[in-house]
Amino acid sequence: MLKKLAAEFVGTAWLVLGGCGSAVLAGGFPAFGIGFAGVALAFGLTVLTMAFAIGHVSGAHLNPAVSVGLWAGGRFRAADLPGYVVAQVLGAVAGAGVLYLIASGKPDFSLGEFAANGYGEHSPGGYGLAAALTCEVTMTFAFVFVIMGATHASVPKGFAPIAIGFCLTLIHLISIPVTKTSVNPARSTGPALFVGGWALQQLWVFWVAPLAGGAMGGLAYRWLSPQTK
């Protein structure tokens, strides 16, 4: 179990460093800013690469909402949930810490929103609370639904990381303007701890909505196509 938790820690740290790092360090850089599309691709690539690297060790959940969704879908033991969630959150904080050390090395560094998720005045598009909740629930539902399908016993082996990575990319393309995209309570917690203030006050949305959406996605796929092998 220790190796599984270590894998989840490292994998989630990579997700935050790679995904949030692309937004903080390169998202709007004047000379070569990668923009929303680049950030979306970066998040997808973090999951794709780690799914190939540690999928055989821990399943590469990298996300409490995914762990809860897989539990709801009958693919994960409830007894393992607390350890996975703690490892994922600690990994996200570590990833955000490394990102802070890198970003703060620039002479004119300003913390700003540090890729923290938000709604209202902290939404890139000015979307309110109801839109943020709806978006996060729906996107996490879809993410877990795709994960359940891509990892089903009847599906050809070896391609799941590609489908999952591209799914997360698509989710970011849709929802970055709304909340900067969470679908992952751990990913939201890491940057929020550094930003503090409003980010911590709004953090509950990015726990409640993804966990609810993930559970619904797991239950829906379990009903649609139960795994019998």
Mean pLDDT across 198-219: 98
pLDDT of residue 106: 87
pLDDT interval class at 200 (50, 70, 90): very high
Task: Dig out the tokens for 134 from the structure.
Answer: 């709806």
Distance, CA of 203 to CA of 185 (rounded, Å): 8
The answer to whether residue 229 sits within a structural domain is no
Q: What's the whole-model pTM score?
A: 0.93
Question: Which is higher by pLDDT, 45 or 225?
Answer: 45
The per-residue pLDDT for range 22-68, each reduced to its tens digit, is 999 986 654 457 888 999 999 999 999 999 999 999 999 999 999 99
Is the Cβ–Cβ distance between 197 and 154 less than 8 Å?
no
CA nearest neighbour of 205 among 89, 96, 118: 118
- Domain with residue 109: its CATH number is 1.20.1080.10
pLDDT of residue 27: 67
Q: Which amino acid is at 45?
A: L
Mean pLDDT across 125-131: 97
Which residue blocks in the chain are alpha helix, DSSP H? 2-15, 21, 35-58, 64-72, 81-103, 129-150, 160-179, 185-195, 198-202, 205-224
pLDDT of residue 112: 87
The answer to whether residue 107 sits within a structural domain is yes
Res 6 pLDDT > 90: yes
pLDDT of residue 158: 83
pLDDT interval class at 228 (50, 70, 90): low
The answer to whether residue 145 sits within a structural domain is yes
The per-residue pLDDT for range 141-180, each reduced to its tens digit, is 999 999 999 999 888 888 999 999 999 999 999 999 999 9
Percent of the chain with pLDDT over 90: 86
Cβ within 8 Å of residue 181, ≥6 positions away: 40, 43, 117, 139, 171, 172, 175
Res 98 pLDDT > 90: yes
Domain that holds residue 128: 2-224
pLDDT of residue 121: 96
The per-residue pLDDT for range 64-90, each reduced to its tens digit, is 999 999 999 999 999 999 999 999 999
Mean residue pLDDT of the chain comes to 94
Q: How many domains does the chain have?
A: 1
Which phi and psi (to 5°) does residue 65 adopt?
Answer: -65, -35
